[in-house]
Amino acid sequence: MTKTYNPLTPEERYIVEQKGTEPPFSGEYTDLFESGLYLCKRCDSALYRSASKFASHCGWPSFDDEIAGAVRRQIDADGRRVEILCAQCDAHLGHVFEGERLTAKNARHCVNSLSLRFIAD
């Protein structure tokens, strides 16, 4: 059975399917701090709650925790970073960095806005 996903723009396909990165400070969710839920742009799985979002000033939306079981980690092709993917559809989200001491959870999920869809509470 073939899985059906949401239609994506060419820019979204570049990020989600080809593991690209949007330019820093260009994403619509970088500075959004409304209460709500962030979903996978490709399959609508819930990935992050707004309560875990924080201002990292890195140029991309940052979260210090994901919804349990929503995000899968794997070593990036460069062998140095840890890539994060939607656990349901393998959409590329971005990278996770640990040990920066930016939050009490000591993790920063650096996510492309084009990988996400936001639903306000």
Whether 47 contacts 89, CB under 8 Å: no
Whether 66 contacts 86, CB under 8 Å: no
Sheet holding 116-120, edge to edge: 46-49, 36-40, 116-120
Pick from 61, 37, 39: nearest CA to 49: 37
For the chain, the distance separating the N- and C-terminal CA atoms, rounded to the nearest angstrom, is 34
110 belongs to the catalytic site? yes
Whether 117 contacts 44, CB under 8 Å: yes
Which of 40, 43, 86, 110 is an active site residue? 110
Residues with active-site annotation:
110
